[in-house]
Amino acid sequence: MTVLAAGFIAAGCSGGSDNEETQNTEAPEEEAAEQETVAENSAEEDFLVPFDETLTHVHGMGYIESEGALYFASHTGLKIYRDGDWFETDGMYNDYMGFNAVDEGFYTSGHPGVDSDLPNPIGIQRSTDGGQSLESLVLEGETDFHWMAVGYRSHDLFVMNPQANSIMETGFYLSENAGEGWQRLEPQGLDGDLMALAIHPEDSQLLAAASSTGVFLSKDGGTTFERLTEDGEFGTAVHFTESELLYASHGSEAALKSYVLDSDAGEAFEIPELGEDGIVFISVNPADEQEIAIYTVQGDAYVSSDEGTSWTTILEKGQIQ
């Protein structure tokens, strides 16, 4: 007997025909919903198993709001950090590239894993169940997108296509309908070897890029970009929140900074001593914007719960801490 069913019986004993009528019509639906939730939770528990190995070849990182966890996309599938514990998936060992966490799942490109029957490359796929399944959106078997950004709530797509395929030439494209249609962009002011892309959670006029010549921001949907960094400083990572662009760069040393979108103001964060290392992924927890995660070239990962005042090491050269 479920908790809900027991509660229904107890309430029925208290009498009152109006209450009984309401409960008799609502309880089956509520109980079915509860059973569905229990089944989903059970499926997730079966899918996620403890992880205590070395995490290498990370190709993306982000908080999935519906899962309440920080996801790392690797050469051998997903690794998950939740409430101080590490997990990995039992299956779906795909080589995820261009990984983007969103509010209800993630979008990705890459290559199929050893347990997959997906074509290689996998084009653009999305998952709404924490990676238990994938839905093919476009270009399956044609393109592996290393540089892809997805609006956290809009789910609009901003990509750099590395070579011509059946629907795109080489270059930058924007889709506002989950890949069904694409707008070719001819960005002015953006140059250098590309390192990362970002798109605002909801406003797709706001785009960003990190490259070997700096960090760039567009406020007109990718028509023009302005450089935010100084000469000689190269960009390594970009990430939007609702109000800010967070970006990482490296000049004489690694840096993490914010750019306030409505005021053009900015500030630098205090970060761990990284030496010659640099930040390649940034993510802010949408449920608590005081919580920031960063991942570095050498496989270190840090989480701050106070907007960068202090940091906790969760990975050191790929080793769980």
Task: Please write the tens of the pLDDT for every residue from 82-96.
Answer: 999 999 999 999 999
| pLDDT > 70 fraction of the chain, expressed in percent and rounded | 87
pLDDT band at 130 (very low <50, low <70, confident <90, very high): very high
CA atoms within 13 A on the CB side of 45: 6
Alpha-carbon torsion, ordered 40, 45, 48, 52, to 10 deg: 160
Tell me the Ramachandran region of residue 213: left when phi exceeds 0, alpha when psi lies from -120 to 50, beta otherwise: alpha
Task: Calculate ∠ Cα 308-310-316, nearest 5°.
Answer: 100
Does 33 or 288 have the greater pLDDT score?
A: 288
pLDDT at 112: 98
Q: How many CB atoms lie within 10 A of CB 199?
A: 29
- Encoded amino acid at 260, one letter: V
pLDDT at 33: 52
Helix axes 3-12, 17-47, angle to 10 degrees: 170
Residue 115 clears pLDDT 60, i.e. is over it: yes
State the average pLDDT for the chain.
90
How much is the average pLDDT of 47-57?
97
Q: pTM, whole model, 2 decimals?
A: 0.87
Cβ pair 115, 134 in contact under 8 A: no
Q: How far is CA 111 from CA 51, 93, 97, 218, in A?
A: 22, 10, 8, 30
pLDDT band at 44 (very low <50, low <70, confident <90, very high): confident
Q: How many CB atoms lie within 10 A of CB 217?
A: 23
Strand-strand pairing, 234-240 and 69-74: unpaired
